[in-house]
C-alpha cells in the first residue's frame, strides 16, 4: 500500500507535475479539489488558475498536440487517525477534442487502482498502471491492459517506484500516441 504522512501528502503536487511533464510544453499545476470525495482528498492537475466550480474530472491541461488535452487526479484516503494517507487511485485520461464544439472525448486512459480487493474481477491487471483504449471497438475499451505484471507488488507499495512507472506510462502515451498524430 502506498502511504504518505499527512505532512508529506503536499509533496505530491511537485511529483505529479514531474510525472506529467512529458505530455505538455507548458507548466501544469496541481492542487486539492475543495470538496471531500467520501473520506478522501483528491489532488488534480490543471493549467491556468485553479478551477473553482468544476468537477475535478473536468480539470484539464494542454498536451504537446493541440487537439488533445489531459486530465489527471489521485484519490488519497486517510487512516482512522488521519495521520497517514493511502493512495486509492490514480487516473490519467487523454481526451481528443472533437466535433464542432471541440468537446473532449475519452481517447486513452492510464489508471491505477492499487487497493483493488483480492479476488475482484481484473484484480491482477488493475492494481498497477494499466491502459484503457477508449478509441476502439468493444470489448477493447473495457480491457485493463497492464503495463507491468512482474513488479506490481513492489510498485504499489513504494511511492518512488509508482512515480517511475506512471512517468514511463506518460512517456509511452507521448511517444506512441501524441507524436504519431502529426
Question: Tell me, what's the pLDDT at 74?
Answer: 97
Q: How far apart are CA 75 and CA 177, in angstroms?
A: 26
Question: Tell me, what's the pLDDT at 92?
Answer: 98
Do residues 9 and 23 touch, judged by C-beta distance below 8 A? Answer: no
Question: Tell me, what's the pLDDT at 99?
Answer: 78
Question: Tell me, what's the pLDDT at 122?
Answer: 86
pTM above 0.75, yes or no: yes
Residue 116 DSSP symbol: P
Q: From the first residue on, what is the mean pLDDT of each consecutive set of 10 residues in the chain (182 residues)? A: 90 95 95 89 94 86 95 95 93 92 92 90 89 91 89 92 95 94 74
Question: Tell me, what's the pLDDT at 182?
Answer: 63
Q: How far apart are CA 78 and CA 164, in angstroms?
A: 24
Question: Tell me, what's the pLDDT at 82?
Answer: 85
Q: How far apart are CA 148 and CA 4, in angstroms?
A: 23
Amino acid at each position: 500500500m502506498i502511504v504518505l504522512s499527512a505532512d508529506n501528502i503536499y509533496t505530491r503536487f511537485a511529483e505529479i507535475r514531474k510525472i506529467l511533464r512529458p505530455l505538455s510544453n507548458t507548466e501544469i499545476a496541481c492542487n486539492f479539489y475543495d470538496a471531500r470525495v467520501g473520506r478522501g482528498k483528491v489532488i488534480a492537475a490543471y493549467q491556468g488558475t485553479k478551477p473553482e466550480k468544476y468537477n475535478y474530472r473536468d480539470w484539464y491541461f494542454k498536451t504537446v498536440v493541440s487537439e488533445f488535452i489531459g486530465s489527471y487526479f489521485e484519490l488519497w484516503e486517510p487512516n482512522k487517525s488521519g495521520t497517514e494517507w493511502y493512495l486509492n487511485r490514480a487516473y490519467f485520461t487523454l481526451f481528443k477534442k472533437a466535433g464542432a464544439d471541440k468537446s473532449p472525448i475519452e481517447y486513452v486512459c492510464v489508471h491505477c487502482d492499487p487497493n483493488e480487493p483480492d479476488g475482484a474481477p481484473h484484480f491482477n491487471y488493475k492494481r498497477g498502471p494499466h491502459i484503457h483504449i477508449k478509441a476502439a471497438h468493444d470489448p477493447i475499451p473495457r480491457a485493463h491492459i497492464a503495463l507491468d505484471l512482474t513488479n506490481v507488488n513492489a510498485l504499489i507499495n513504494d511511492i518512488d517506484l509508482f512515480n517511475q512507472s506512471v512517468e514511463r506510462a506518460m512517456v509511452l502515451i507521448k511517444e506512441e500516441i501524441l507524436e504519431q498524430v502529426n
